[in-house]
Amino acid sequence: MNPDRLTFIRKLPKAELHVHIEGTLEPDLIFRLAQRNGVMLPYADVDALRAAYQFTNLQSFLDLYYAGAAVLMTEQDFYDMTMAYLRRIAQDGVVHTEIMFDPQTHTERGVPIADVFAGIARAVREGREKWGITSCLIMSFLRHLSEQAAFDTLEQALPLRDQYADVWLGIGLDSGEQGNPPEKFERVYARCRELGFYLVAHAGEEGPADYVSAALDKLNVIRIDHGVRSEEDPALVARLADRRIPLTVCPLSNLKLKVVNDMSEHNLKRLLDQGLCVTINSDDPAYFGGYLLDNYVAVAKALNLDDADLVKLARNSMDARFPVFVSQA
Ligand code: ES4
Ligand code: ZN
């Protein structure tokens, strides 16, 4: 891409609305934390680990993602990981980020949930001061686990709510989608709604368009994470357009996890042209080969986006921030 175009995209004020903080853990940091914490890794070095990042589908990625996250033990580890991410996106013209984290990945290994919150929140607060990036947190439930496990996690986290009222604003749902439909989490989402959290959920990544409809109808989410398979249901597409329900699309993720075979086949531009509030996001940038700006560049090239498309995508991301941020603007 020519340097002027790259500068143009970098300078657009952009929000990232779909990133898993555990997915920002770069191989060199994985090795550094493994050494610091005395955790054994089944890879000889950073290059061997990176060479293993060849995925066939979502599950093949998740296996590595959970293994990588197993080096996170202390508050300082969560802080270091989050600071590295914020430092990185500050260079890309990202002005706002809504960060997902998966406490169950850590509490299952005996890490206190308070340490997970404390490390990430300390970095987020410091990132505001240091780089002027506003951010908040989306605590996500692992959908391959039970609804009761989600309720247990919510119960462990709620005593921390007041302390992190400025950062913890959202609830999300991630991990293996197929066979774990939104309905499975209907009651815990109803509780989170009563508690006043903003609700989002992954749907229509590998799972069918029906899961997107169910996330809207049964979970009352205000945004859909991914949602690219919505296109299979024209009535759903019309509904998403009418209600301006944002989709947080992750192009490099879709390519690496073989949701699409080639970036030129991605439906992002078609969805945008049908009036949907499409946004671009990085998902798990350390695993999928790029941060937010790289995702913009990859789709701009593969789908021949013009400047108006790029402006629209960046604006959509700012409009699709959690309402408290949009109304402050
Ligand atoms: C994820 Cl790409 C993706 N899909 C679902 N769950 C996830 N957790 C981390 N990355
Ligand atoms: Zn995701």
Read off the pLDDT of residues 204-223 as tens digits, 9 standing for 90 and up. 999 999 999 999 999 999 99
Q: What is the mean pLDDT of residues 286-298?
A: 98
| pLDDT of 124 strictly over 90 | yes
CB 16 within 8 A of CB 317: yes
Give the pLDDT of residue 137.
Answer: 98
Domain residues of the chain, as ranges?
3-26+77-321
Residues having CB closer than 6 A to ligand 1 are: 20, 23, 58, 65, 174-175, 202, 205, 253, 283-284
Residue 326: is its pLDDT beyond 80? yes
Say yes or no to pLDDT of 182 above 90. yes
Tell me the two tokens of residue 325: 């941020």
What is the pLDDT at residue 295? 98
Task: For residue 225, give the ligand nearest its CA.
Answer: 2
Nearest CA among 98, 99, 94 for reference residue 23: 99
pLDDT band at 328 (very low <50, low <70, confident <90, very high): confident
Q: Specify the CATH number of the domain 3-26+77-321.
A: 3.20.20.140
- Rounded-to-integer distance, Cα 95 and Cα 86, Å: 10
3-state secondary structure of 176: coil
Q: Kindly report, residue by residue over 67-114, the tens digit of the pLDDT.
A: 999 999 999 999 999 999 999 999 999 999 999 999 999 999 999 999
> What was the pLDDT predicted at 316?
98
- Across 38-59, average pLDDT: 95
CA angle 296-300-301, nearest 5°? 120
Q: For a substitution probing ligand 1, which of 25, 53, 57, 58 has the most ligand atoms within 8 Å of its CB?
A: 58
Contacts of 299 (CB under 8 A, 6+ apart): 251, 263, 266, 268, 269, 280, 305
d(CA 170, CA 140): 8
Neighbours of ion ligand 2 (CB under 5 A): 283
**pLDDT surpassing 80 at residue 119:** yes
Q: How far apart are CA 250 and CA 200, in angstroms?
A: 15
Which residue in 98, 177, 205, 206 is the catalytic one? Answer: 205
What angle, 0 to 180 degrees and rounded to 10, lies between the N-to-C axes of helices 307-319 and 3-11?
Answer: 20
Q: Is 126 a catalytic residue?
A: no
329 pLDDT above the threshold of 80: no
Antiparallel, parallel or unpaired: β 94-101 and 134-142: parallel
State the average pLDDT for the chain: 97
Q: Which atom of ligand 1 is nearest to the CA of 102?
A: 8
Nearest protein CA to atom 7 of ligand 1, as residue: 175
pLDDT at residue 176 greater than cutoff 80: yes
Identify the pLDDT of residue 253.
98
